[in-house]
Amino acid sequence: MTNSVIASPRLGAWQSMTLRRGWAARLWIATAQARLAMTACFAFTLSSYVAYAEDRPLTQPTRDVDVIYRIAGPDGPLEQRLRWGVTLGKLRVDPPSPGLYMIIDQQTHIMQAVREADRSVVQVDGGDKALPGAAPGGRFTKGEVAQIQGLPCTLWQTNDLSGRKVSICMTSDGVMLRAEADGLVLAEATAVKFAPLGEAVFRVPSNYRKIMPAPVSRKP
């Protein structure tokens, strides 16, 4: 699941690597505002830890879910759709730009960015680098219970990669419903649907041209 009209965190390894290549650079630039506003979402849904504890929320969905977020954009709100296939261990991100989507394998940290217009796929191996989001092991402060889209969620305070204070509202089964920073709503769920998601949702066309940048070095 959080691109910013406010101070935004630095681009991570995934973005900077992708910016080196042709249309992928346009993909990331065109959706940079949306992606950075969704950083708060990615900070938790793509983080490496998923266990619930009293001092931190469950940060990854425990069942398949399809969420549409309204995110802050420079010229007004935008929509971004995130779909988690829990059994498959995959996340599909449909940014505001039509004809573009990303499939992220949450086990291998491989991301495939698909552009339908020229039938191409940029595949990025993240190695041991963290996916976009908060630093692992970040501290959380538990707050009150709210309700968004008819679903209860708990407010948690933490910091993003740039050290900025962020507030997120997480359901008990690991779905982020809202993210705020500096009093500005960065992302808020406008539709949430829990239902099984088939492999077709996360399929990358096998006949598309593949572009594979050099992988990020893995730790020894």
Q: What is the pTM of this model?
A: 0.73
Window from 19-23, 29-33, 114-118, 119-123 with minimum mean pLDDT: 29-33
For the stretch 76-103, pLDDT in tens is: 899 999 999 999 999 999 988 889 999 9
Query: Within 10 Å of residue 215's Cβ, how many Cβ atoms?
Result: 14
Examine the pLDDT at 8 and tell me if it is beyond 70. no
Q: What is the set of domains in the chain, with CATH numbers? A: 13-205 (2.50.20.10)
The amino acid occupying position 145 is V
C-alpha span between 2 and 212 (Å, rounded): 26
Burial of 52 (0-12, 13-18, 19+ CB in 10 A): middle
Tell me, what's the pLDDT at 49? Answer: 39
pLDDT tens, 154-205?
999 988 777 788 899 999 999 999 999 888 898 999 999 999 999 999 999 9
Provide the pLDDT for residue 59. Answer: 79
Q: Which residues pair with 151 in a beta bridge?
A: 148
